[in-house]
Structure 1
Amino acid sequence: MKNAKKVAIIGVFAALAFVVMYIEFPIFPTVNFLKYDPSDILALLVAFIYSPTIGIIVLAIKDILFFIFKSGDIVGIAMNFAAGALFIVPAALIYANKGKFREILGYVIGIVAATGGMALLNMVVVPYYWKVPLSEVFKLLPWIIGFNAIKFSIDSVINVIIHKRVRGILEPDERKI
């Protein structure tokens, strides 16, 4: 892909992901600090069409912008980035060879990686960040696991729908490049 087109794609998708990140709501009202937003779908889409690297760049830019313009919470935004990366990288790498089976397998592995990875990361980060004992984090683990499993399952289903419709428009034609 030519550099100008690559920069334009990254810029457009990062900006869209940043705007979409403002659409957020808790999946479980009991733990309303865990909020779903559909922004990772855009990073996943470009990761599937171009490469996991492009997806991660989009993910990083949207998180940096969100940190600067809204959250100011470096730990929360870093956790958001980690969750997105844990999902997008395995999903896009497995899908790289294309095919429906590999797409579904990519989603499943990505969901498992993000859900398990975020459970572990929360056990490490939350006691220091919130200054609570690990036993309190264990009480939250079912919610954290459920949240991430639901979040990335929703992202997967939406990506299936969107990817089919836009891949023909966005996929690079290597003969022209």
Structure 2
Amino acid sequence: MKNSRTKKLTTVGMLCALAYIAVAVGRIPVVLFLKYDPKDVVIVIGGLIFGPLTSLAMAVIVSVVEMVTISSTGVWGCMMNMISSCSFACTAAFFYKRRHTRSGAVAALACGVACQIAVMMLWNWLAAPVYMGYPREAVEALLLTAFLPFNLLKGGLNAGITFLIYKPVVTTLRRLHLVER
């Protein structure tokens, strides 16, 4: 039992490190101040393997480490990163846990993308005026022209990449005896 917990903790720690590396080297400016990074791919893989609470823990850990090391967005950016990552990864992991099939994975990832888009549209509307110092009217004008397309792109890329690499990643982790069958 102890060996299993140690393996899980080590594997989750390794996945957190990979997610952080994805932020540090994979950040791509998209529109305005919005940047895409593939960290959510790693976070959702952790959740698909170990469950939604693991996604939650990974999102918090990676966002906080990002905030104190390489981010210039401070506490607001950290909070927005956590909310975005959790809404996608925890939702996908929750639904995948109920239907562990290829079609279940597609449905779970689609639910994760839909949840992330809805949640981030609301949070951008609520937080951007405070966080960015923009008037609410300016933020409302950006919702459909910047935030929605960005979140569609981000969610679609994260879901697509996850779908393509999940099985090979899990197979490798199983071969290394880091996750159970």
TM-score (structure 2 length as normaliser): 0.88
The whole-number CA distance in structure 2 between the counterparts of 1:148 and 1:131 is 21
2:147 corresponds in structure 1 to: 144
The whole-number CA distance in structure 2 between the counterparts of 1:50 and 1:76 is 26
Shift in Å, 1:130: 2.5
The whole-number CA distance in structure 2 between the counterparts of 1:16 and 1:109 is 24
The whole-number CA distance in structure 2 between the counterparts of 1:111 and 1:36 is 14
Identity %: 26
Task: Map Cα deviations across residues 35-54 of structure 1 (whole Å, 9 max, x no partner).
Answer: 00011111111111111111
The whole-number CA distance in structure 1 between the counterparts of 2:156 and 2:9 is 29
SS at match of 1:21: helix
1:117 corresponds in structure 2 to: 119
The whole-number CA distance in structure 2 between the counterparts of 1:130 and 1:37 is 20
User: In the TM superposition, what are the counterparts of 1:51-130 in structure 2 within 5 Å?
Assistant: 51-72=51-72, 73-96=74-97, 97-130=99-132
Shift in Å, 1:173: 2.5
Task: Map Cα deviations across residues 69-120 of structure 1 (whole Å, 9 max, x no partner).
Answer: 1115110121011011001111111111211221111111111110111010
2:40 corresponds in structure 1 to: 40
The whole-number CA distance in structure 1 between the counterparts of 2:143 and 2:64 is 27
Larger helix percent: 2
Indicate how the Cα distance of structure 1 residues 131 and 173 shifts in structure 2: closer, same or farther if over 3 A, else same.
closer
1:173 corresponds in structure 2 to: 180
Contact 1:10 1:57 in 2 (8 A): no
The whole-number CA distance in structure 1 between the counterparts of 2:173 and 2:167 is 11
Q: Does 1:50 align with 2:50?
A: yes
SS at match of 1:137: helix
SS at match of 2:70: helix
Q: For 2:22, which of 20, 30, 52 is the aligned residue?
A: 20
Counterpart residue type for residue 21 of structure 1: V
Shifted more, 144-153 versus 162-171: the winner is 162-171
TM-score (structure 1 length as normaliser): 0.90
SS at match of 1:27: strand
The whole-number CA distance in structure 2 between the counterparts of 1:173 and 1:16 is 20
Q: For 2:156, which of 141, 148, 153 is the aligned residue?
A: 153
Count of paired positions: 171
Contact 1:45 1:159 in 2 (8 A): yes
* Superposition CA RMSD, Å: 1.5
